[in-house]
Structure 1
Amino acid sequence: MNIDVIISADHIKEEYLENKTVVVIDMLRATSVIITALANGAKEVIPMLTVEESFKKKMELSKLGIPSLLGGERRAVKIEGFDFTNSPLEYTKEKIDQKVIILSTTNGTRAINLSLKAKKILIGAMINANAVVELLKNQEEDIVFINSGTNGEFSMDDFICSGYMINLLCQSHEHNLSDIAKTARYIYANNSDVVQYIKNARHYNVLKALNLEEDLKYCCKKSIVDIVPIVNKSSKTISIISK
């Protein structure tokens, strides 16, 4: 299969994604939140582009008697009136079990919504990388790893996460990698200590300055969650792929 990497949401060309499987990555922190929330019992996650749309969706669900919670950030800071920030550590089973999470973030939920022309959209991060790769091994479509990036720009953290997954994919089979996919694999292969590689990244240091070191530690852990979220393109919701 062919494997490619897109370096930020601003670089997504929607037609290019047609008939391909996409893995959206925003390891710091939106996709780590989605994976964690679903692993801890959330009914589904709804990725929203704007704060206004998020509040509207919550009202719609409330009228239907569906319990929901608002989560997300703007510039890594909690949104006023939301229940949670974008910290995966807040999404505990006690708080979110069987509830719908309405999530709106600066980068990750935007990348997801821009990927809807893909044949299949999976949600990936360091924490579920091996589960994603095991699923990808059993398909025929070309794969595009979409890095959400930071405010439209390249992000070292998402790039090395792509490299980690590509490296895992290539351990058992050789695939046709684009130049940027080869580079991502090379970066990971030579920097398997992820924290040491991304500690000078701008977004990493923004989170560190906000005293979010525990989030950073969690999001950099490799393959600790054994689920793969998938986007239902018709409803624009995210749930766990049934095993």
Structure 2
Amino acid sequence: MNIDVIDSVKEVSCERISGKNVVVIDVLRATSTIVTALANKACCVIPVEHIEAAWEFYNNRKKEIVILGGERDAKIIKGFHFGNSPLSYKEESIKGKEVVLTTTNGTRAIKSCVKAEKLYIASFINATAVVEQLIEDKEDVAIVCSGTYEKYSMDDALCAGMIISLIDKQGEITTIDMGWTVKELYEAYEHDLHEVLKNCSHYKRLEVNGYTEDLRYCLQRDIYDIVPIYKDGYIRGLKENDHDR
């Protein structure tokens, strides 16, 4: 398995993702929110890049089955039901509903990768489940770190490092470039992710805005075994997608 690590959304290109299975990561917080929403029995998550697109989808559907979620600059969008805190997406609020999500970085990264062979969604909270699927697929992989405002983000890099570390333990890696660096970074700090992230700008921004509980939640590992996959505009759990065929 060849693995390419793309360190921010601005580095995504057709050449780098064509014919590959792609994993999009936005630990803080979009992909953590997507995994959580599906784990709490949302019907699906619909990622959109722009606020206007979210409203358009909402206005063309039955209001009682759609949840609007999203943020700009880490703050909830005016008029939306929820922001981008995964802790907001509780089963009693979202079960059986379609979650339309737009975020500053994560949903943009997802939409930039829709031409991938398969497009998976990962965070620390479901990393091992995604790794198991990648190993089962036996295809080359591009890991896309969403980044923060088109720049490298340490939290996403550490999650990419975890994914690579787990794959490497199975002896499945053929070639990899910068991935070895993030793998070694993760293995050096895997017992205290908060320590390495506490001085990073995005971590600090969430902390200052009162999202300390989100930080604790998003840096947990493997609390879900769900594998979200994007197909035709919708993100669902892989097993659900298989059942639909």
Aligned equivalent of 1:225:
224
1:240 aligns with 2:232: no
State the match for 1:29 in structure 2.
29
- Whether the aligned pair in 2 keeps the contact of 1:156 and 1:201 (CA below 8 Å) is yes
The answer for the alignment partner of 1:54 in structure 2 is 54
Q: Is the 8 A contact 1:27 1:157 kept in 2?
A: yes
| CA displacement 1:180-216 (0-9 Å, x = unmatched) | 1111111111111211111111100000000100000
2:178 is matched with 180
Q: Report what 1:144 is aligned to.
A: 142
Task: Give the C-alpha shift of residue 179 in structure 1.
Answer: 2.1
Task: State the secondary structure of the residue aligned to 2:70.
Answer: strand
Cα deviations across residues 162-195 of structure 1 (Å, max 9, x unaligned)?
0011101111214124221111111111111211
Scaled by the length of structure 2, what TM-score is found?
A: 0.95
Query: Deviations for 1:149-169, whole angstroms, at most 9, x for unmatched residues?
Result: 001000000000000111011
Residue by residue over 1:118-150, the C-alpha shift from the partner in whole angstroms, topping out at 9 and shown as x without a partner, is 100000000000111111111121011100000
1:44 and 2:41 are equivalent in the alignment: no
How far apart in 1 are the matches of 2:49 and 2:14? 16
Post-superposition CA distance 1:25-55 (Å, at most 9, x none) = 0010000000000000000000011111100
Structure 1: unaligned runs, 5 residues or longer: none
1:189 and 1:212 mapped to 2: Cα distance? 26
Partner AA of 1:139 in structure 2: D
Q: Distance in 2 between matches of 1:229 and 1:27?
A: 14
Which stretch has the larger CA shift, 89-98 or 52-61? 52-61
Q: Which amino acid aligns with 1:23?
A: V
Match status 1:189 vs 2:179? no
Q: Which has the higher helix share?
A: 2
Residue 18 of structure 1, CA deviation = 1.0
Which of the residues 61, 71, 74 maps onto 1:73? 71
Q: CA RMSD in A?
A: 1.1
Equivalence for 2:112: 114
- Between the aligned partners of 1:77 and 1:223, the Cα distance in structure 2 is 27
Q: For residue 215 of structure 1, what is the aligned residue in structure 2?
A: 214
| Alignment-mate amino acid for residue 95 of structure 2 | D
Identity over the aligned pairs, expressed in percent?
44
SS at match of 1:109: helix
Could you tell which deviates more after superposition, 159-168 or 191-200? 191-200
CA distance in 1, matches of 2:64, 2:139: 36
Q: Which deviates further from its counterpart, 171-180 or 98-107?
A: 171-180
| Matches of 2:223 and 2:184, distance apart in 1 | 23
The TM-score, its normalising length taken from structure 1, stands at: 0.96
